[in-house]
Amino acid sequence: MAAKLLASALRRQTLTPKPASAASHLVRTVSTAAAMAEPFDDADGVSMKGVKIYGRPLYLDMQATSPVDPRVVDAMLPYYLSRYGNPHSRTHMYGWESDSAVETARAQVADLIGASPKEIVFTSGATECNNISVKGVMHFYKDKKRHVITTQTEHKCVLDSCRHLQQEGYDVTYLPVKSDGLIDLDGLRAAIRPDTGLVSVMAVNNEIGVIQPMEEIGEICKEFKIPFHTDAAQALGKIPIDVDKWNVSLMSLSGHKVYGPKGVGALYMRRRPRIRVEPQMNGGGQERGIRSGTVPTPLVVGFGAACEIAKKEMEYDEKRVRELQDRMLKGIREKLDMVVVNGSEEKRYPGNLNLSFGYVEGESLLMGLKEVAVSSGSACTSASLEPSYVLRALGVDEDMAHTSIRFGIGRFTTEEEIDRAVQLTVQQVKKLRELSPLYEMVKEGIDIKSIQWSQH
C-alpha cells in the first residue's frame, strides 16, 4: 500500500517540470516518508558529536523511542497524501473522512486498555498528559484538595509538575521505593490525608523497567475515594492493561513508545465516577475542551494502528523479548563479574535491562560502545552527568549508579544484535577494568571501602 501511494505521488509530481534541486528534494522527502534509510557506504565514516562512526549502530534504546512499525506507516500515508482534511471541518468529505479516521483510532487506543472511546483524549504525548493530570486535577479541586502523593522515581515531567504545585502552595509527598524499585503499599496508605487530591504512580518505570503493583494501589485509592493517575507510556502494548482492574482515573499514553509516531499521545479520563480537570491550554475547544488544537489525523491514525497491532502481538512480543533479555543477561554474566541488575528481576518488563558494571565509569563505557545505541537512563535527563535519581532512590551507591547502562530490547531486535551487543559490552568493560587500579585491588581481596584515603 505504501509503495503504491508513493509511486502515485511521484508520478503526479513528475508530470510538472521542476528545477533539478526541487525534484531531488522530493525524492529525498518521499524516501524518508517510506522509511527507506540510505545505505551507509562512507568508508571514512562520519563524525557526530565528536565521535567517529563507521556505520549505523545497533539500536538498543527502545525506552527512549521505538522505530515506527512499517504497518503503521502504511496506515498513516493516505492521510498525508490524499485524505488530508481537517477532522474538525464539518462541511465536506475531506473533513468527514478525517474525523472518521480519528474516531476509529480513538476506539483502537481505548480497546488496548479496556476503556470506552469516549474516555480517550488525544494530546501531543505523555508529558502533556501528565501535566494535564497532575496540575489539571489539583487546580480543578483546589478549594478542597491540597495534597498530592507520588513516588521519588517518577518521570521528570510528573516530578516537575508536582514541584510547580508546591510553588503554588500545595503539599506533595514523594514516597520512597524499596531496593527493588517497588513502593511500600503500607507507606502509601499512611501518607493519605483527608485533603489528598491525587495519587500518581508510574506503571512501568522508564529507567529500570519495574512494574508497580497497580491493582493494589488502585484498591487503596478506591477505598479512600482518591483519584489515581498513572503514567503508562512504558506499559502500553507491553503488559496487559485494564483500567477497571487497575481502578485508574487518569492514564497517560504515548505513541512513539509503542512503535507509533512521535508527537501524539492520549489521556484516558474515567467517566464513571467522573474525573474533572482544568484544561492547560485554551483554544477552539477540541477534544471536549480538555485539549484544544487541531487533532493531527495522520499521527492519531498511526497511534491507533500501533495500538491495534500491539494488542494482537503483545503475547508473542513479550515472549520473544524475554528470550532476548535472558540471552543478553546470560551472555554478559558468563564473561563478567560484578554485574548488577537494577530493580526487581521478577516484577519488571523484560525489554528494559538496566545493568551496573562494578569499577567501570558509565560515561566511558557509553563512549566506548559506539556501535551500540544505548543510554545511561532517561532520554529526558541523559544530558546530565549526575547519577540517575531513580537509581539513587533505590539506594544504589553513587559509584554503581554512575556505571549503569540501560539496554532496551524491542519487537525488531534480533538475536544477532544481542550477541554483538554482548560481545562489544564485554570487550569494553574488560578494557576499562584493565585501566582501573581499584578493580585490581578488589580482585586481590582488598576492601576498598575500608581504605582511609588521604586528602591533598
Residues noted as catalytic = 380
Residue showing cell 525488531: 412
SS3 assignment, position 77: coil
Listing DSSP states for 271-307 in one string gives: TTTT-----SS-SS-TGGGTS-S---HHHHHHHHHHH
C-alpha torsion sign, points 83, 86, 92, 98: positive
Contacts with 140 (C-beta within 8 Å, 6 or more apart), sequence order: 276, 277, 278
How far is Cα 11 from Cα 423, in angstroms, rounded to an integer? 47
**Residue for grid cell 501518607:** 191
Q: How many CB atoms lie within 10 A of CB 136?
A: 25
* DSSP structural state of residue 183: B
Q: What are phi and psi of 123, to 5 degrees?
A: -135, -170
What string of H, E and C letters represents the secondary structure of 211-261?
ECCHHHHHHHHHHCCCCEEEECCCCCCCCCCCHHHHCCCEEEEECCCCCCC
Do the Cβ atoms of 105 and 309 come closer than 8 Å?
A: no
C-alpha cell recorded at residue 211: 512494574
Rounded to an integer, what is the distance from CA 120 to the centroid of its chain?
19
Helix axes 20-33, 2-14, angle to 10 degrees: 170
Residue 334 grid coordinates:
558468563
426 with 337: CB under 8 angstroms? no
- No. of helices (H) and no. of strands (E), the chain: 17, 14
Determine if the peptide bond prior to 87 is cis (ω within 30°). Answer: no
Is 228 within 8 Å of 243 (Cβ atoms)?
Answer: no
Q: Residue 95's CB: how many other CB atoms inside 10 A?
A: 16
CA-CA distance, 234 to 59, in Å (whole number)?
17
